[in-house]
Copies of this chain bind each other. A is one copy, B any other.
Amino acid sequence: MQITLIGSGNVATHLGAALKNAGHKILQVYSRNYQNAALLAYYLSAEPVNSLQNINGDTELFIIAVNDDAIGAISKQLAVYKKTIVHTSGTTSINDIVTDNSLAGVFYPLQTFNKNKELNFNTVPLGIEGSNPQVTQTLTLLANSISKTVFYATTEQRRALHLSAVFACNFANNLFATAQALLQNHHLDFDLLKPLILETAEKAQYSNPLAVQTGPAIRRDEKTMAIHLELLKDKPDLQTIYHLMSQNIIKMAVSTEPDE
């Protein structure tokens, strides 16, 4: 397909690379910031543009990968070309895309992306939504060309997925950052935690997280929890998080086997 990328951030970068590698032609990369557009366009053998006035209408698909707030306004400016317009947002409704021809869709990659880290896009689940069966079919074919996990998701389902992803990824990463800060306070190296972090994620690949929960809360080990809360006495926000997460563990607990 001939594709135009609107955006040059983490999602646009990884999606663009995957599409190019699958043999699709990226015509143009748009970013308000010309340097950002130029850098990604160079990598994708595309033309950089930093004004929507310079968009080439001879594309087949516009992929809008920018902040959610800008999707409506940008699609409104692209509508004139009467091509399919999709966004990549987890939370934005398909109806927020402005079109002149009702060819709208969603192309939602369920993954955390950073420009500076490579990633095998083939493992990224892609959630598809189309404004009509033709769009859905086109997007499904496109998605299958870059990912082995393609699924149909309504806006409501996509929002639930995104919310779940915020818990499982964004908040988990913040816990890693919090742990790192706690270690730094005691002159301990974050490297010591890395095998634990990896093992925790690997366990979730093969086991029900509820069934493999470990730690003081699931053991109702009040003494250890009291020591931990005391260690956090100068950090009331972390005390509150500790308390709430421990309560959530206890609440969700299913039958588990304590350490001897």
Looking at A90, A149, A197, A258, the one whose CB has the most chain B CB atoms below 10 A away is: A197
Contact with B along A201-241 (1 / 0, CB 8 A): 11111111110111111110101100110011000011011
CB distance from A73 to the nearest CB of B (A): 14
**A187 to B: closest C-beta gap in Å:** 8
For the residues of A in contact with B, the DSSP-based class is helix
Chain A interface size, as a band, is 35 or more
From B90, B177, B198, B248, A205 is in contact (CB under 8 Å) with B198
Could you give, for residues 101-127 of chain A, a 1 whenever the CB lies within 8 Å of some chain B CB and a 0 otherwise?
000000000111111110100011100
Contact B177 A175 (CB under 8 A): no
Q: Find out whether the CB atom of B248 lies under 8 angstroms from the CB atom of A214.
A: no
Are B252 and A174 closer than 8 Å at their CB atoms?
A: yes
Q: How many copies does the complex hold?
A: 2
A181, CB-defined interface residue at 8 Å: yes
Q: What residues of chain B lie closer than 8 Å to A41, measured between beta carbons?
A: none
Once the chains bind, are A210 and B125 in contact (CB under 8 Å)? Answer: no
Given A174-B213, A228-B91, A252-B178, CB of A197 within 8 Å of CB of B205:
yes
Select A160's contact among B65, B186, B221, beta carbons within 8 Å: B186
Report whether B180 and A165 are in contact in the complex, using a CB–CB cutoff of 8 Å: no
Chain B residues near A187 (CB, 8 Å)? 157
Q: A172 at interface (Cβ–Cβ under 8 A)?
A: yes
Evaluate contact between A65 and B119: CB separation under 8 angstroms: no
For the complex, is A81 an interface residue (Cβ under 8 Å from B)? no
Known: A68-B224, A224-B91, A244-B237. A117 touches B207 (CB 8 A): yes
Residues of B within 8 A of A8 (CB): 260
Closest beta carbon of chain B to A190's beta carbon, Å: 8
For A178, the chain B residues whose CB sits under 8 A away are: 167, 248, 252
CB contact under 8 A between A205 and B194, given known A65-B260, A260-B31: yes
Residues of A within 8 A of B (CB): 7-12, 31-33, 36, 65-69, 90-91, 110-117, 119, 123-125, 149, 151, 153, 156-157, 159-183, 185-188, 192-210, 212-219, 221, 223-224, 227-228, 231-232, 237-238, 240-242, 244-245, 247-249, 251-252, 257-260
